[in-house]
Amino acid sequence: LVACLQQAVDSITLALPTKEMPMSWRNEIEEIRRREELAKKMGGEERIQRQHDNGRLTVRERIDALVDPGSFHEIGALAGRANYDGQSELKDFTPSNFVLGTADIDGRRVVIGGDDFTVRGGAADAKIGDKSGYGEKYALEMRLPLIRLVDGSGGGGSVKTLEMVGHSYVPALHGFETTMKLMGVVPVICACMGSVAGLGAVRVTISHFSLMIKGTSQLFVAGPPVVERGFGKPVGKNELGGSQIHAHGSGAVDNEVESEPEAFKTIKLFLSYLPQNVWQAPTRTERTDRVERREESLLTVIPRDRRQMYQVREIIKAIVDVDSFFEINAGYGESLVVGLARLDGFSIGIIANDTCHHGGAVNATASEKMMRFVDLCDTFHIPVVNLVD
């Protein structure tokens, strides 16, 4: 027994701090903080200035502008590539070009992630793919809305990758099933913030709501140099995949906005109509309509002559709560008007024929637009009001 006790005492003595072994973890914690500060420098002052000169915010500035002040909690800030000297001391650190975290938007918790264009132009092969994939898995598991601020190229490898590993590659699509599962569980919102190609373009379209910024955003499978090589003639970025092309032509994105601040405002507005996930109902807002409100214009807005057109949006605005109608995909399938609104504070979907286009007849593009919108309302339990003409 004495021998056992002596052995235990010796073990405890060996485990106690010595003069050479500090009792505090302060140095390690300070090193972590130092690396976090290095990550916040992104691609460096010169590249940040270039981003500003092009009229764009950095990804961290975008997140700060979108979320409630002080609510952003970053995940994986230390993910990146580090270089060490011969003494195992950190020489420099290049962060992953994908910033991820949780935050509040109007008091609601969300998962938000964005590409950092200042680090290798947001190229997907510099993202450390597990980081963006983790964000999707986290949103799915915690049942939180996901917001993506996309500003980078695809995942097929870049010239930098070719120099580093000696070959390019076909991008793996592991985790893509999580991307698809999210569409049936939580709201997914994507904003195309710059020139986006390849897998980045795919992610913009796999969403419940997407937007582009006029003159700033471009969306394409392959950029102008690749297209020029294939067709033998030059083509501009906006001509190939600008917001006019996709918001009014292909229908690949829902809305077109004028600026980044307007993009953030639009994201907040869309999210306000939706619940946190499919197991919850959309939040009922405070009712602002006066009890005695009357819309006398409804008596005359539809002409008695059936050959004359009328503005169906005026009818929608007269029926729903004041200033609550949010139109989606206005430039595509124009014979049909769809959007979200409120009735007595409750979220509703609106579908209405627009007689100003094809007499209100639903063509192929309008049918696709209606299908997508009805699917959105069905997924998140939003009742639909249908105005048929």
Other CB atoms within a 10 A radius of the CB of residue 39 amount to 21
Please check whether residues 217 and 362 belong to one and the same domain. Answer: no
Q: Answer with the one of 238, 257, 272 that is the final residue of a domain.
A: 272
pLDDT of residue 119: 82
Contact 34, 95 (CB under 8 A): no
β-bridge mates for residue 82, sequence order? 93
Tell me whether residue 278 is in a domain: no
Rounded distance between C-alpha atoms, residue 271 and residue 147, angstroms: 10
Please check whether residues 234 and 114 belong to one and the same domain. Answer: yes
pLDDT in tens, the chain (389 residues): 656 555 655 555 555 555 556 678 888 888 888 888 888 887 778 888 888 888 889 899 999 999 999 999 999 888 888 777 766 777 777 788 889 999 999 999 999 999 988 886 656 554 566 788 889 999 999 999 999 999 877 655 556 656 666 666 565 555 678 889 999 999 999 999 988 888 888 889 999 999 999 988 999 888 888 888 888 888 888 888 888 999 898 999 999 999 999 999 999 999 999 999 999 999 999 888 888 889 999 999 999 998 899 999 999 999 999 999 999 999 999 999 999 999 999 999 999 999 999 999 999 999 999 999 999 999 999 999 999 99
Please check whether residues 220 and 303 belong to one and the same domain. Answer: no
pLDDT of residue 174: 59
Please check whether residues 169 and 305 belong to one and the same domain. Answer: no
Tokens 């270089």 belong to 83
Measured at the alpha carbon of residue 125, what is the angle toward residues 223 and 197, in degrees to the nearest 5? 20
Alpha-carbon torsion (54, 260, 65, 208), positive or negative: negative
At 381, which helix (H) or strand (E)?
none
Please check whether residues 339 and 259 belong to one and the same domain. Answer: no
Contact 133, 175 (CB under 8 A): yes
Please check whether residues 243 and 325 belong to one and the same domain. Answer: no
Please check whether residues 227 and 313 belong to one and the same domain. Answer: no
pLDDT of residue 108: 95
Q: Answer with the one of 216, 237, 272 that is the final residue of a domain.
A: 272
pLDDT of residue 127: 53
* Angle between helix 260-272 and 59-66 (nearest 10): 40
**What pTM did the predictor assign?**
0.85
Give the number of domains in the chain: 2
Q: Residue 334's domain is classified under what CATH number?
A: 3.90.226.10
Tell me whether residue 311 is in a domain: yes
Other CB atoms within a 10 A radius of the CB of residue 260 amount to 21
Instruction: Of 262, 41, 56, 257, give the one whose Cα is nearest residue 151.
Output: 56
Please check whether residues 248 and 102 belong to one and the same domain. Answer: yes
Pairing type for strands 218-220 and 195-197 reads: parallel
Q: Which residues contact 248 (CB under 8 A, 6 or more apart)?
A: 256, 331, 332
Rounded distance between C-alpha atoms, residue 379 and residue 183, angstroms: 9
Please check whether residues 177 and 137 belong to one and the same domain. Answer: yes
pLDDT of residue 129: 60
Pairing type for strands 146-150 and 188-192 reads: parallel
Rounded distance between C-alpha atoms, residue 161 and residue 19, angstroms: 47
> CA 350, 207, 255, 64: dihedral to nearest 10 degrees?
120
Contact 293, 343 (CB under 8 A): no
Residue-number span of the structural domain to which 336 is assigned:
296-387
At 308, which helix (H) or strand (E)?
none
Q: How far apart are the first and last CA of the chain?
A: 95
Please check whether residues 257 and 301 belong to one and the same domain. Answer: no
Please check whether residues 219 and 352 belong to one and the same domain. Answer: no
